[in-house]
């Protein structure tokens, strides 16, 4: 099976920087996604990493180290609207060559004034 770990909850201050970590143990790794999910809403895509390194997209950046089974999502200049759950998801190629996406349980981020 797939093992994906991320902290359950985090709190940060408006305007600050926060880093949400995700570690995974899997075979057939084929990419890592970060999704944002506001309460009562559907997950929405934030970022995708398949090679090692940092991907930057505005206030959000995502980092991947495949050798360490580790990723983080970095949120800069936090805004109140960034309060949400952040889901780490690992794409895996199975024995038949099909791709499956496995989600962590999510990190609930609360941004305080």
Partner 1 sequence: DAGVIQSPRHEVTEMGQEVTLRCKPISGHDYLFWYRQTMMRGLELLIYFNNNVPIDDSGMPEDRFSAKMPNASFSTLKIQPSEPRDSAVYFCASSRRTSVDTQYFGPGTRLTVL
- List interacting residues with partner 1 (CB under 8 A): 30, 33, 41-45, 48, 87, 89, 91, 94, 96, 98-106
Which CB atom, from 13 or from 99, has the smaller least distance to partner 1?
A: 99
User: Across the strands, what pairs with 109?
Assistant: 10, 84
Neighbour-count burial of 84, counting CB atoms closer than 10 A to its CB (0-12 exposed, 13-18 middle, 19+ buried) = buried
Shortest distance, CB of residue 106 to partner 1, whole angstroms?
6
CA 52 to chain centre: 15
Which CB atom, from 78 or from 84, has the smaller least distance to partner 1?
A: 84
Which CB atom, from 14 or from 41, has the smaller least distance to partner 1?
A: 41
């Amino acid at each position: 099976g797939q093992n994906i770990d991320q902290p359950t909850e985090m709190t940060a201050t408006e305007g600050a920087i926060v880093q949400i970590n995700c570690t995974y143990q899997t075979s057939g790794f084929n990419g890592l996604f970060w999704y944002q999910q506001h309460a009562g809403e559907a997950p929405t895509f934030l970022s995708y990493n398949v090679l090692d390194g940092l991907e930057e997209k505005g206030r959000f950046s995502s980092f991947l180290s495949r050798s360490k089974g580790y990723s983080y999502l970095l949120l800069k200049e936090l805004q109140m609207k960034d309060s949400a759950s952040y889901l780490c998801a690992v794409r895996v190629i199975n024995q038949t060559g099909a791709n499956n996406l496995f989600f962590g349980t999510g990190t609930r981020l609360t941004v305080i004034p």
